Structure 1
Amino acid sequence: MLVPNYIFNPNPTSLDIDTNFKENTEHGDSKFPVAIHYTSHDGTSLNAIHKHWHNEFEILIIVTGQVTVTIEENAIIATAGDIFFIPANQVHEANCFSNIPCSFFAIVFNPAFIESKQNDIITENFLSPFLNFPAQHIAYISKKEIFSTQFNHVLTKLIDSFALKEIGYELETKAWLLLFLKQIIAYKDYLFFLEIHQPDRHDISLTIKKTLNYIDQNYQSSISLQDISSNVGFSKEHFCRFFKKHFHMSFNAYLLHIRLKKAKNLLLFSDLKILDIAFAVGFESAAYFSTIFKREVGQTPKDFRDKPKVIDFI
């Protein structure tokens, strides 16, 4: 299997994820909506894959190390050779387990790429369930299963075809993707599916969306724990526990993350003065903004604007 970074699609960055965790990267293009990302992490990054969701299907293949993969709040510690199938619109993230270096492939493709133009038996019987009931088709293929070699064979062929880009590789890519889904259907009685059956899931989702919406509308001004907890109908103590459980960080840490993310965007893609950017993203002074930015990013706002050293990969 070929793995050099330059062969595959550039990784989206954290700037491509909005405040509702939606990834806005275009994977491939309208005529060939497929992307393959190869990512290698040294284990020190906070996230190997930042929490996000998108409208495409994703196949995640662990290449080296161990990775904690979390899909819709369900976490699995995966090892090299393990595979995940993540249908559209499912929130997921990943971290190198115990800060040990890890690497993985992410194959992301629009389901329209493999759908038929008309509602034939293939779409109706085999593809529609993946589209209509995505949470019931989140699949984990452990390398310990005997049949996992068949999945790995298909994906190795797919990745190599995409990398080599020989004549007709687009056709071959589509064929391998269809064959991968065929394997999932063939072994559905033996695969471990992360089916989501949480009676309060709808309420949790609404609270998360309400929290994110409040932050998105008010990050430019001062937000206290009392303000946001009252907005979602929780006590401060309960809100802190809820936020930590679902966002894996404190509310203040997340708010700072959002403000710095907005600041990075403005520094790179606007002509606003640094003073104006500081106020625009919720800091009370340019001096404090510069101090916090330097501490968190490792560069002053001016240096980042001129030549950013690092943009976090997802």
Structure 2
Amino acid sequence: MLDLKALHENTRIDHKSYPFQLFQNRCREMKTEECILYLHWHEHFELIVMRQGSAQFHIDSRPYVAHAGEVIIIPGGALHVGYALEDGDVHYDSIVVNPALFHDFTHDPVHLKYVAPYLEGRVRFPVKPVEQDAICQGYYSLLNEAVEEMALQPPAYQLVVKSKLHALFTLLARTFMPLQLPDKTAGSYFPNRERFKQLIEQIEAEPTEKMSVTEAAGQVGLNTYHFCKMFKKLTGRTFVEYVNGCRMTIAEQLLQESSLTITEIAARVGCENANYFTKLYKQYKGMTPSQGRLK
């Protein structure tokens, strides 16, 4: 079940001295193009390991397809969202890492030369490293070992995870640094993203609030045409489609977890017409609300 309220920057980190966290996402019985990761951002790196199924992630407006076994690296601050590419289960592990994890290395000249430029955002790892250099496939065993440590949490697992992740970042930096200028500031993939963050936070927090496309465009200082074009590029969905998707996810939760009638749930998610709600729910979830309640 997707949680629309656990999205904006306040990513859970259990141990502040070791700022990393594993989220094992298991999205079951998804429909093609159904959202598996709602649009959000945070200051941390995020490494996504696809375990089952296929998905398309939009990262600062650029689309990336990921199949089982593939890894995606999302830089800190990037807006990202994900959708299922086909019907069925979509499983992926998400490892969130704050650069502060490697604070101990700040006086190490080799770390400063190779790893720090990536941690500071002066250069960026490729989102899909293997597509740039096949040697990176061999590095992913470090990531899988780190995931296993985080999942099982044996004694001193924090130290093992820290060493595995630093080794991974170092090997990636050694591979890609010669192709990049160390003093080159990495430009934003989506330079307008800051203007969208407040709007997206509002949509995610209160998806049932009525807001027209014109009002949304006004919030980010764009005319309606350019807003619609940029929103679709950023999320892979129109503004209306995205808002409706958020609403139907809330409806799905209410159907399964509450005793409210379908008409009451329709009103809760901003649909005054129950027939229209049923049509929307079937469009986004592939079944009627009544079937969703029995799921």
Contact 2:61 2:233 in 1 (8 A): no
Residue 182 of structure 1, CA deviation: 1.2
Correspondence for 1:30 among 3, 8, 16: 16
2:260 alignment counterpart: none
Query: What is the aligned length?
Result: 287
Q: Which amino acid aligns with 2:73?
A: F
1:120 alignment counterpart: 107
SS at match of 2:16: coil
Structure 1 residues 143 and 157: alpha-carbon distance in aligned structure 2, compared to 1, 3 A threshold = farther
Distance 1:179 1:169 in 2: 15
Contact 1:82 1:143 in 2 (8 A): no
Encode CA deviations 1:117-148: one digit per residue, 9 max, x unaligned.
x8412563344322321662344222795423
1:16 alignment counterpart: 5
Correspondence for 2:158 among 158, 161, 170: 170
Residue 235 of structure 1, CA deviation: 4.4
Q: CA RMSD in A?
A: 4.7
Structure 1 residues 190 and 147: alpha-carbon distance in aligned structure 2, compared to 1, 3 A threshold = farther
Within 5 Å, give how 1:128-207 maps onto structure 2: 128-133=116-121, 136-142=124-130, 145-189=133-177, 197=187, 201-202=190-191, 204-207=192-195
* More displaced 10-residue stretch of structure 1: 182-191 or 165-174: 182-191
Residue 58 of structure 1, CA deviation: 1.9
SS at match of 1:36: strand
Residue 230 of structure 1, CA deviation: 4.8
* More displaced 10-residue stretch of structure 1: 106-115 or 25-34: 25-34
Contact 2:49 2:94 in 1 (8 A): yes
Residue 91 of structure 1, CA deviation: 1.8
SS at match of 1:54: coil
Q: Which amino acid aligns with 1:30?
A: K
Which stretches in structure 1 are left out of the alignment for 5+ residues? 1-11, 268-274
Encode CA deviations 1:241-260: one digit per residue, 9 max, x unaligned.
33333233332333445567
Correspondence for 1:71 among 36, 59, 66: 59
Residue 276 of structure 1, CA deviation: 11
Q: Which amino acid aligns with 2:55?
A: V
1:87 alignment counterpart: 75
Q: Which amino acid aligns with 2:3?
A: S
Distance 1:52 1:39 in 2: 15
Distance 1:130 1:51 in 2: 23
Which stretches in structure 2 are left out of the alignment for 5+ residues? 256-262
Contact 2:73 2:126 in 1 (8 A): yes
Contact 1:27 1:109 in 2 (8 A): no
2:258 alignment counterpart: none
Structure 1 residues 154 and 232: alpha-carbon distance in aligned structure 2, compared to 1, 3 A threshold = closer
Contact 1:67 1:77 in 2 (8 A): yes
Structure 1 residues 198 and 23: alpha-carbon distance in aligned structure 2, compared to 1, 3 A threshold = closer
* More displaced 10-residue stretch of structure 1: 99-108 or 176-185: 99-108
Distance 1:251 1:89 in 2: 21
2:241 alignment counterpart: 253
Structure 1 residues 309 and 88: alpha-carbon distance in aligned structure 2, compared to 1, 3 A threshold = farther
Q: Which amino acid aligns with 1:60?
A: I
The percent of aligned pairs where both chains have the same amino acid is: 21
Structure 1 residues 37 and 309: alpha-carbon distance in aligned structure 2, compared to 1, 3 A threshold = farther
Distance 1:100 1:278 in 2: 26
